[in-house]
Structure formats: C-alpha cells, structure tokens
C-alpha cells in the first residue's frame, strides 16, 4: 500500500490513496486554520472507530440492533518526573441499551479488543524515514 502525502499550504497536509483523500490542518492556536482535524486527532479517532467497526460487525452477525450502541473513547494523561504530560491510558466504554443481550456483554469487549489499530500500537512496526531525490 502506498499513500501519497502532499503539502497544500499553510499547516495543511493531505493524504491520498485508492481514490480517497484525508485533509489535515492544525488548530488556530498552533498556526493552522482549524479547517480539519490534526493528524494526531485522526490517529486517536482511528482507535475508537476501529473498535466500533468490530462491535458493529459483531452485532450485525447476530442481528442485534446497533442504533443505540455508542462507544466513548477517553484519553488519560500522566506526568513524567520532568513534569511533561504523556498519554498513559486509552479507555473505550461501550454503551449498550437495556435490551442488549447480557450474554454478550463480555464478548463485545473481547471483540472491540481485536481492533487492528490497537494491535498495531501494541506491536509497533519499524519506522524507516529517508530522503530521495526525484
């Protein structure tokens, strides 16, 4: 898979692949125009949306209505000895309606834990960044 990254101006960066395009920007406080989420925001959202996909698939296979199921992702920060903050924990709460089958409460957690984004973070790839002349 190849993703082409372009720099359209100011603090904006665009990713393009397979006919899709993701626009990113930085908040106004960081010199951007605030017209799109930042790359880090997309990264964080990819964790919750990935878990949501697995929950959705689980429910669809069992004909469980998903209209009233939501996931809430919360980021918890800690402080290093030097006072700098770091992301310490990501919590995902799956809110199900009262008629959601109790027998699936534990199973839906296990399914959400299968998220491919989470698995990639837990077993990170090797990064290689290089300059080429074109």
Give the model's pLDDT for residue 64.
Answer: 97
Tokens of 77: 């920060």
Mean pLDDT, the chain, rounded, equals 97
Tokens of 20: 């899709």
Tell me, yes or no, if the pTM score tops 0.75.
yes
Tens-place pLDDT, residues 69-82: 999 999 999 999 99
- C-beta of residue 47 within 8 angstroms of C-beta of residue 118: yes
Tens-place pLDDT, residues 15-27: 999 999 999 999 9
Give the model's pLDDT for residue 3.
Answer: 97
pLDDT beneath 50: ranges in the chain:
none
Measured distance CA(29)–CA(35) in Å, rounded? 12
Measured distance CA(78)–CA(89) in Å, rounded? 8
Other C-beta atoms closer than 10 Å to the C-beta of 92 total 19
């Amino acid at each position: 898979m190849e993703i082409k990254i372009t720099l359209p101006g100011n603090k904006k960066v665009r990713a393009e692949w397979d006919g899709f395009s993701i626009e990113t920007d930085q908040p106004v406080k960081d010199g951007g125009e605030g017209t799109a989420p930042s790359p880090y925001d997309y990264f964080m959202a990819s964790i919750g949306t990935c878990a949501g996909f697995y929950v959705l698939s689980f429910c669809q296979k069992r004909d469980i209505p998903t209209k009233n199921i939501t996931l809430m992702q919360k980021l918890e920060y800690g402080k290093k000895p030097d006072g700098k903050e770091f992301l310490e924990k990501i919590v995902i709460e799956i809110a199900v309606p009262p008629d959601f089958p109790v027998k699936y409460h534990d199973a839906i957690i296990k399914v959400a834990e299968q998220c491919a984004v989470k698995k990639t973070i837990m077993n990170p790839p090797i990064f290689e960044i290089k300059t080429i002349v074109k």
